[in-house]
Amino acid sequence: MVTVKIKDGTPRGSASLCVTCRYVHIVRGFSASEQQVRCQGVWPSQLMHFPVSQCSSYDDSRLPSKRDMEKIAWILLTKKA
């Protein structure tokens, strides 16, 4: 039997990248098929009709943003010699 490996093929059962993106607006209905995903990372915002696997405007909402990091950062003052 021959085993065939496909590099960069279509992944199965993976969630869309939009679910964890900071720039997404998701509207879900009562049914599992009722869902609208609108990307606000591009101008004008676009309705996504397919699950996204890679995006150049992706910003993970699970990680703190640059602004959040600046708010919690310590400001160190040093004396000139």
Question: 3-state secondary structure string, 24-45?
Answer: EEEEECCCCCCEEEEECCCCCC
Per residue of the chain (81 residues), give pLDDT as tens.
Answer: 778 777 766 666 678 888 899 999 989 999 878 889 999 888 888 898 888 888 888 889 999 988 889 999 888 888 887
Q: Is 0.75 topped by the overall pTM?
A: no
Q: Are 48 and 18 in contact (CB under 8 A)?
A: yes
